[in-house]
Structure 1
Amino acid sequence: MPRETPDQGLYDQTLARRGRFRPQEGTATMTNILNGPTEFAGDMLSGYSSAYSRYLRLVPGAGVVRRTVDSRATTRLVLGGGSGHFPWTAGFVGAGLADGAALGDVFTSPSAEQIYRVAKILPPAGGVLFCYGNYAGDVLHFDMAQARLRGEGVDCRSVVVTDDVASGAADNAAVRRGIAGSLAVFKVAGAAVARGDGIDDVERIARLANARTRSLGVAFAGCTLPGAAEPLFRVEPGSIAVGLGIHGEPGIRTVPSMPARELAATLVAALLPEAPVGNSGRVTAILNGLGATSHEELYVLWGGIARQLDDAGIEVVLPEVGELATSLDMAGCSLTLSWLDDELEELWAAPADTPSFRRAPAQVQAVDGEQLAVAVPEVGAADGRFAEHGGAAGPEVDLARAVLVAMLAAVSEAEAELGRLDAIAGDGDHGSGMTRGLRAAVEAATSGHSDLSSLLRAAGAAWSDKGGGTSGALWGVLLGGVADGLAADGQGYSASRIVAAVSLGCDRVAEVGHASVGDKTMLDAFVPFVDALRAAVDSGAPLGAAWSGAAQVATEAAAATADLRPRLGRARPLAERSLGSPDPGAVSLALCLNAAGSVLAALPA
């Protein structure tokens, strides 16, 4: 927190030492919500304590403390560190965890006075345990506050967290800094306090947890101090900084960007060698986001981490995935493994209720897994559900597969452009959704299908399932309609029969989507295509030539949608913004029809 009379000169000097200078008047900053840089930490803590006043009270100019304390507690647990890492540490003040937290300014340790004030405002107890990350300023100020309390007769002790494997060698772990693994230490120490342990046991448990906790962090982009116009540090595009500290301290190396499965393997491989001798094979794991990495990305990464740990024969107990120790807006994450024994596992699983970490008592009896075992058929699988006719597949089945493959190639090449068009008045996912759906359709079509209707139904079901969104649903309906049209009467796939089936697919799309020509949807290209295809076939043109000509009509119709205002769907509220840009659904349909035409053009006249 800032002092009550902020020293602007000191703040400017701090930025200068970090190679940063306070922006000139009128210069845009990268922190969007603030009253001023020197007020940021204090304003944040004031707002936080107001939002969660049911949990805690503000200690003006120092930090926060619990509103109530456990009746059995004979020890007080006080955390601390710089601001900018929320929820670490103030977010963990509450039942079953910490009694208080002292907060300094952004990336700055709290002062000895702040720490002392937080500890003194708590009800007297048999002892006070300080727990914090191993940073020079924090150690200095906590030691000073500890000495002051001891001078007043308070049994005060400290446990410094040293979980970051990138910041020191294994044989000199005491020099390592503390990062997100701090939560594992805080949690078990807080649970020990809640069950009434004395200061000796709380300290012992915290030290044991720290000795068994290891973390490694990576960054994809730097963080930005409030009031600054540029990041505190940069990571080159296409690179990952491995071992970077939560304030931007240098990492151990920079490596090229990699798929999530490889990043998972990198993180796990760095931590497993430091497993304690004779460990139980059980860990808790914390996958922590550093501020600007989405939860969805973290879950993608966690899937790989869980597989790596399972392959190593390690049992994971109550893992946590989310933002627990951030660094303002840094893009990155860290993995923590904390090896458990029976006592640590019990304390890790114990109830807690804080603004940012909550664990309810285990009250629901587990259901026998066999009762939940339900066989779910694979969507799009080639089985009896789709078989309309027996016998071997005809040439039209191979032709349909080739059409889907050509459509996938065309849409994949245009994926970025389709996304750009969709982002003008939508959410930008049309290209990726089309590619995902078509890929699933192609995969479903490669299974053994005895007839064209079977293949199209399977492809449509897979497209709808994997593609998702409006386009996935509509293409599923489209292919299903074509399949129904082809299965409606006798054998044979004449050009006129194919036209009728495609027309049925178009009608189904209009019916399900409640759309018509002029609404700026895929129908604005589809209806002209069907009309042109029917006219060409009725005039005697071969199917391949008729299809190619009609596909060109669809392309022109899709381009003409740029002059329309959307009357349906997600783009409707932003109708004016979409003027001048064609509808992405119409464009992707035209791409698919042209790709199909390139295959059908090879048919004999």
Structure 2
Amino acid sequence: MTLRKIINDPHEFVDEVLAGIVRAHPDTYRFASRDHRAVVTTTSPGRVGIVTGGGSGHLPLFLGYVGKGLATGVAVGNVFSSPSPAQILATTKAADAGSGVLYLYGNYGGDVYNFDLAGEQAEVEGIKTRTVLGADDVLSAPADNASTRRGIAGLIMVYKVAGAAADRGDDLDQVAEVAQRAADAVRTAGVGLAPTILPAAGKPTFTLAEGEMEIGVGIHGESGVDTVEIATASSIADTLFGHLNAELQLGGGSRVAVLVNGLGATPPEELYVLYSEIAELIEAEGAHIAYNFVGEYATSMEMAGASISIMPLDSELEELLNAPASSPFYRPGTSIPRPITHDADAATGDDDDTDVATTGFTSNLRGALLRLAEQMPAHEDELRDLDAALGDGDLGLTVSAGVSAIAARINEVPDDAAASTLLRAAAVAFASANPSTFAALVGSGMLSASSVVDDTQQVDKAAAIAIGRAIGAAVSKKGGAQLGDKTLLDVLLPALDELDSGIDEAELRGFLTARVDDVAKLRSARGRAAWHQERSIGLKDPGSVAVAYAIDALTRTANQ
């Protein structure tokens, strides 16, 4: 497939984008890490730093909100993938002006895990951090489970509020408090009319039949809550506002800020039509739009569609929205105080410094890991397609890049490296190759498993099962998943039980195939897949499929 994109090598896309931005705006931006994935602006001594970050492909989000009166720095991941903890830490160090750093970003699993880890490292180095998550998408989870909602365009208003608070001299706790108040207030709902195409994948992130649109689509191409016939702007406004006001309950005297956001391929004319419809609905409730934004503020590359964000205002939030701010990307909104009668350089230490323990013999775990690296890339396309249906389509790349990184790292350590060393090295390599929720969880699991292996012995069947169970326990503890949540645990743990019972290789292969099919019948309860709600039933869980392939590869290796 020939991509209709102005790019070079798709795998170099993000780096070339960043190079172009920093070259175009050297008065605002500079790199703060050797890999050029940490970007910061100048800041005043003593000002609270604000660091954001996330996957590429959403400009102006996230980098576009680094500037005066806004965020101080951004850690940039691959397209639709999280930045690594090292990249976040490098940004944190460069953004700290002596008063600590607020982490402000969207509520996505990989981002949360990696920012948390960077925050722990920053605290060790004497930098205080606080975290506020954007979780404004009302259609990604019900109100009684609002903490799991994803963060989308409403985050822009939170950046504005937090940046203004930092500029006026608030301390870290005060900036975090007002940012949290803004994040708690804003609600967003969106509609998608056409998908985006990831440069590295070359395929649409979702599909719609002719004449269809998706209510509740996410900015990574996650499918929404309903596929319906394309409707008029008035009907779209009615639908989205209905979902928003069910929670906001706007009434007479309410003052709100409104953001009508284009997702990347929607003309501004259409956005203003949508704004007019939303304004009428808000005014009909007796509320007043005191501040508005109309334009592209959080995109999904060339996705067609729009989102509506509404934030009820108190006097402080309104004052902070009106404070000055600028960046090469940020376009200030319009203040409407009263109703109007209308006629018709720093380097990051991201090198792997795993301590290497040796034993005097070559662990059989070494060969198993290298065999895994040989076999798993063959499943990249299948895993990508499965993940595109339930997530953001990056699992194929995560697994392929992860096992390749494992092989590269294993080949760097001595032949007689201890099994625990191999597991630690594999954990860091896998988690860092293409940072994501899956990579972070599996990496954390392998790191935990390194503490249960006996370095004085070869890894026999019992030890391998113990390693697998340690990985499962760590994944469950870190991610909160349990059996039945339709995650990798639903294949991993039963397969380990079968192995423990003495099942042979052929029987295990049949069990894995059947188990993957059984897990597909469940409703996803964790991660991005959970946002699909009932629609997840019947779709194979990509993480479970990946684990089934890994177990099959490892058992074949053990029996050779």
TM-score w.r.t. the length of structure 2 is: 0.58
Q: By how many angstroms is 1:300 displaced?
A: 1.3
Letter in 1 for 2:287: I
Q: By how many angstroms is 1:267 displaced?
A: 1.2
Letter in 2 for 1:106: V
Q: Which digits, 9 at most, give the CA deviation of each residue in 1:510-554, with x for residues without a partner?
A: xxxxxxxxxxxxxxxxxxxxxxxxxxxxxxxxxxxxxxxxxxxxx
2:152 aligned residue? 179
Counterpart selection for 1:208 from 181, 184, 195: 181
2:237 aligned residue? 264
Letter in 1 for 2:50: L
Distance 1:160 1:123, change over 3 A: closer
Matches within 5 A, 1:533-572: none
1:164 aligns with 2:175: no
1:140 aligns with 2:113: yes
For CA contacts below 8 A with separation 6 or more, give which structure has more relative contact order. 2
Counterpart selection for 1:331 from 304, 310, 330: 304
Distance of 1:233 and 1:284 partners within structure 2: 31
Q: By how many angstroms is 1:369 displaced?
A: 8.4
Distance of 2:91 and 2:187 partners within structure 1: 29
Counterpart selection for 2:55 from 70, 82, 85: 82
Distance of 1:354 and 1:298 partners within structure 2: 22
Matches within 5 A, 1:468-547: none
Distance of 1:300 and 1:278 partners within structure 2: 23
Distance of 1:269 and 1:215 partners within structure 2: 11
Distance of 1:213 and 1:138 partners within structure 2: 20
SS at match of 2:70: coil
Letter in 1 for 2:44: D
Distance of 2:275 and 2:156 partners within structure 1: 18
Distance 1:277 1:220, change over 3 A: closer
Given that 2:40 and 2:91 are in contact with CA atoms closer than 8 Å, whether structure 1 keeps it comes out as: no
2:262 aligned residue? 289
Distance of 2:183 and 2:191 partners within structure 1: 21
1:46 aligns with 2:13: no
Distance 1:361 1:329, change over 3 A: closer
1:28 aligned residue? 2
Q: By how many angstroms is 1:368 displaced?
A: 13
SS at match of 1:353: coil
1:350 aligned residue? 323
1:250 aligns with 2:223: yes
SS at match of 2:291: coil
Distance of 1:164 and 1:189 partners within structure 2: 20
Q: By how many angstroms is 1:359 displaced?
A: 3.7
Distance of 2:169 and 2:285 partners within structure 1: 37
SS at match of 2:236: helix
Given that 1:289 and 1:333 are in contact with CA atoms closer than 8 Å, whether structure 2 keeps it comes out as: yes
Q: By how many angstroms is 1:293 displaced?
A: 0.8
Q: By how many angstroms is 1:123 displaced?
A: 4.5
Given that 2:253 and 2:286 are in contact with CA atoms closer than 8 Å, whether structure 1 keeps it comes out as: no
Distance 1:78 1:314, change over 3 A: same
Distance of 1:159 and 1:67 partners within structure 2: 21
Distance of 1:369 and 1:276 partners within structure 2: 22
Please identify runs of 4+ aligned residues in structure 1 that moved more than 4 A: 276-280, 365-370
Given that 1:225 and 1:231 are in contact with CA atoms closer than 8 Å, whether structure 2 keeps it comes out as: yes
- Consecutive unaligned residues of structure 1, counting only runs of 5 or more, are 1-26, 377-605
Counterpart selection for 1:120 from 86, 93, 100: 93
Q: By how many angstroms is 1:67 displaced?
A: 3.6
Distance of 2:333 and 2:236 partners within structure 1: 32
Q: Which digits, 9 at most, give the CA deviation of each residue in 1:545-580, with x for residues without a partner?
A: xxxxxxxxxxxxxxxxxxxxxxxxxxxxxxxxxxxx
Letter in 1 for 2:210: P
Query: Identity of counterpart residues, as a percentage?
Result: 43
Distance of 2:227 and 2:333 partners within structure 1: 40
2:204 aligned residue? 231
SS at match of 1:157: strand
Given that 1:276 and 1:339 are in contact with CA atoms closer than 8 Å, whether structure 2 keeps it comes out as: no
Q: By how many angstroms is 1:122 displaced?
A: 2.7
- Consecutive unaligned residues of structure 2, counting only runs of 5 or more, are 345-560
Distance of 1:155 and 1:366 partners within structure 2: 37
Letter in 2 for 1:267: L
1:68 aligned residue? 42
Give the aligned CA root-mean-square deviation in angstroms.
Answer: 2.6
Distance 1:301 1:361, change over 3 A: closer
- Say which is worse superposed, 59-68 or 283-292, in terms of deviation: 59-68
Distance 1:279 1:144, change over 3 A: farther
Distance of 2:339 and 2:303 partners within structure 1: 42
Counterpart selection for 2:246 from 273, 276, 280: 273
Letter in 1 for 2:248: A
Over alpha carbons, which structure has the higher Rg?
A: 1
Q: By how many angstroms is 1:229 displaced?
A: 3.8
Q: By how many angstroms is 1:227 displaced?
A: 4.2
Q: Which digits, 9 at most, give the CA deviation of each residue in 1:37-92, with x for residues without a partner?
A: 11001110110111111111123425454442135x53100011100000101011
Q: By how many angstroms is 1:226 displaced?
A: 0.7
SS at match of 2:54: strand
Distance 1:67 1:298, change over 3 A: same
Q: Which digits, 9 at most, give the CA deviation of each residue in 1:170-189, with x for residues without a partner?
A: 12211100000111111101
Distance of 2:330 and 2:169 partners within structure 1: 21
Given that 1:212 and 1:276 are in contact with CA atoms closer than 8 Å, whether structure 2 keeps it comes out as: no
Given that 2:206 and 2:223 are in contact with CA atoms closer than 8 Å, whether structure 1 keeps it comes out as: no
Q: By how many angstroms is 1:271 displaced?
A: 0.4
Counterpart selection for 1:220 from 190, 193, 201: 193
Q: Which digits, 9 at most, give the CA deviation of each residue in 1:495-517, with x for residues without a partner?
A: xxxxxxxxxxxxxxxxxxxxxxx
Distance 1:102 1:62, change over 3 A: farther
Given that 1:75 and 1:193 are in contact with CA atoms closer than 8 Å, whether structure 2 keeps it comes out as: yes
Distance 1:199 1:296, change over 3 A: same
Given that 1:82 and 1:105 are in contact with CA atoms closer than 8 Å, whether structure 2 keeps it comes out as: yes
1:101 aligned residue? 74
Letter in 2 for 1:291: G
Letter in 1 for 2:188: S
1:320 aligned residue? 293
Distance 1:62 1:165, change over 3 A: farther
Distance 1:359 1:256, change over 3 A: closer
Letter in 1 for 2:43: V
Distance of 2:53 and 2:15 partners within structure 1: 15
SS at match of 2:59: coil
Distance of 2:17 and 2:314 partners within structure 1: 38
Given that 1:46 and 1:58 are in contact with CA atoms closer than 8 Å, whether structure 2 keeps it comes out as: no
Distance of 1:352 and 1:75 partners within structure 2: 16
Distance of 1:356 and 1:218 partners within structure 2: 23
Q: By how many angstroms is 1:206 displaced?
A: 1.0
Distance of 2:80 and 2:338 partners within structure 1: 46
Given that 2:29 and 2:41 are in contact with CA atoms closer than 8 Å, whether structure 1 keeps it comes out as: yes
2:104 aligned residue? 131
1:241 aligns with 2:235: no
Q: Which digits, 9 at most, give the CA deviation of each residue in 1:461-500, with x for residues without a partner?
A: xxxxxxxxxxxxxxxxxxxxxxxxxxxxxxxxxxxxxxxx
Distance of 1:156 and 1:228 partners within structure 2: 36
Given that 2:250 and 2:287 are in contact with CA atoms closer than 8 Å, whether structure 1 keeps it comes out as: no
Distance 1:130 1:304, change over 3 A: same
Given that 2:30 and 2:39 are in contact with CA atoms closer than 8 Å, whether structure 1 keeps it comes out as: yes
Distance of 1:301 and 1:263 partners within structure 2: 8
